[in-house]
Amino acid sequence: MAERWGVERVLALAPDLGSAAAARKLARPPAWSDPGVAGDLLWGWCQGSGARPYETTVDLSGPAYRCSCPSRKFPCKHALALLLLWATGAVAEGGEVPEFAAEWAQTRAERAARPRGERDEAAAATRAAQRAERVAAGLAELEIWLQDQVRTGLATAGYGHADAVAARMVDAQAPGVAGQLRRLSTLPASGDGWPARLLAGYGRLHLLARAHERLGELPAPLAATVRSYVGYPVTRESVLAEPGVADDWLVLAVRDLLDGQIPARRVWLRGRRTGQWALILLFDPLGAFGKTAEGALAPGTSLPAALHFYPATPPLRVVVGPGAGAAVASAPPEPAADLTAQLSEWAAALELDPWLPEWPAIVRGVPLPGPRSWRFADDTGAVPLLTGGVDPWVLAAVSGGRPVVVAGEWTADGLRPLTVWHGETAVPL
């Protein structure tokens, strides 16, 4: 028998707000006849606008859904409502599994049992070697292109100047490099000092291409970091094969990046006992991250789990290992000693990974509003506060001019605040 879920977990599955609202309305016993649950199978009939009631089934282990309604939403409001009904304890356990549910469960079981096909290890190795060759050839072209840029002069670069070479890097199976080039492509004429920003970006790419040339000579963690920036795929299975780090992982902050090619969510974590930082990175084409347990993690909760780190230096990105517990409310985190200490940690991380765009931070200080830009200050001084995409006024309101604990991302340009603690409560910004 599956353990009953919370209402939040069910609502997190909703494809949009409208579905959630519609499901809430339907999640009342009078709308359902004979709902039941047995094992992982949950079923019921829901009277809709049609003559025949809809037959709704949910496999809680997936979760997977099936409903005879014509809705294109997935899961549909009936499946959500049924889950809500169950979550609130209004579905009796046991009972006879109706035919429509049993049939569907059987089909699913058969599909799952089919052998995946033996992985041809030799073929995989060949593919990997081919890829490495293709990337090496692509990065050699990139290096020539970069040198041409500084020889002919950055002044001739216009908006989109690097798009063609970015496309070439996609063909060369170096999507990470392609992404960085696309960002650099938007820099020309982007405000004061753009040539310096562009040249710095070229410098980092040059460093990456040079590092890739010597991939075999680098220490394994650094080589993995280089490979990850270039964009070599790392399978989830291979990460899970690494030993996990068990701890109570405090969810520090959640940041959605919706302007990229694929919407992404960053979930920043810190181990309460190990003090280790971790990052869960999620991608979803629709930006609906709440569908997974990781995506539903909220700042201020703590996740008892073993996290498996992607190989890299410093290690940061993780996969949540199997058997993770439920996230529970947690006390606020311990901040860095002061901003200067935080800066030292950032420098130490950069020493290991010179391409690092940001590093997690927990700091204690006072937000200072300004007419053009905000700052964040403690006894050691003030640093710029990056307020794009966040509401700094919520931070100011919680602070009231007194020091508050803030979790966020530390970058070369300043602190991007993502969560502030209001007493014991984590407030996302």
- Report the interface residues with another protein, using CB under 8 A: 25, 28, 30, 143, 146-156, 195-196, 199-200, 202-204, 206-207, 210, 339-340, 343, 346-347, 350-351, 354, 366, 368-369, 375, 377-378, 380-384, 391, 393-394, 396-398, 400-402, 412-414, 420, 422, 425, 427
Q: How far is the CB of 114 from another protein (least distance, A)?
A: 44
Least distance from C-beta 175 to another protein, angstroms? Answer: 21
DSSP state of 337: S
- Least distance CB 423 / another protein (angstroms): 9
Residue 321's Cβ-count burial label (10 Å; 0-12, 13-18, 19+) is middle
The C-alpha atoms of residue 406 and residue 361 are separated, in whole angstroms, by 8
Peptide bond into 75 cis (omega under 30): yes
Nearer to another protein by Cβ, of 93 and 213: the residue is 213
Cβ proximity to another protein, 216 vs 401, nearer residue: 401
Backbone angles phi, psi at 179, to 5 degrees: -60, -45
65: closest CA among 48, 51, 86? 86
Cβ nearer to another protein, comparing 148 with 171: 148
Q: How far is the CB of 390 from another protein (least distance, A)?
A: 11
Angle at 16 between CA 419 and CA 106, to 5 degrees: 115
Q: How many whole angstroms separate alpha carbon 321 and alpha carbon 130?
A: 31
Instruction: Identify any residues that bridge with 44 across adjacent strands, giving them in sequence order.
Output: 56
Task: Write the DSSP string, 398-416.
Answer: HHTTS-EEEEEEEETTEEE
Nearer to another protein, 53 or 414 (CB): 414
Q: How far is the CB of 119 from another protein (least distance, A)?
A: 39
Query: What does the alpha-carbon distance between residue 275 and residue 362 come to, in Å, rounded to a whole number?
Result: 11
Residue 43: CB minimum distance to another protein, A: 22
Nearer to another protein, 294 or 409 (CB): 409
